[in-house]
Amino acid sequence: MAPTTRSSDFSLGWSWDVFLSFRGEDTRFTFTDHLYSALCQQKGIRTFRDDEGLDRGEEIGSSLLKTIEESRMYIMVFSKTYAHSKWCLDELAKIMECKTQKGQMVVPVFYHVDPCDVRNQTRSFGEAFDI
């Protein structure tokens, strides 16, 4: 079943209810796939996830930045190598910019990482910034 579209959402500038940010190689076919299915197919929540495989060093696309801007809320799936991806960090920066400007909600999900490691940039998160 396809997600339903509410015309009032479009008039408010929201093209998507939820934008999923995740590291594909960590969670695409496991946790994120199940989360996407539950939101989109079971509950009819318009959820965006980028299904494209990305080449290393590739810049985040302008259409993806626009999608982030037009999303009502964000779910960040922090996994062990999330911070190792420039693409993920660029998404995170844009999401936090939008949160500051428009007040969208950000929901962090910690998948096989301790929230303290993300906050303090230790363990796998610290390794990403030691480069």
Query: Hey, what amino acid is at 64?
Result: L
Taking CB atoms within 8 Å and a gap of at least 24, the contacts of 99-105 are: 99/74, 104/71, 104/72, 104/73, 104/74, 105/72, 105/73, 105/74
C-alpha 7/C-alpha 19 separation (Å) is 19
Q: Among this protein's residues, is 70 annotated catalytic?
A: no
Question: Catalytic one among 25, 59, 91, 97?
Answer: 91
Helix axes 86-102 and 62-69, enclosed angle (nearest 10): 40
- Active-site positions? 91
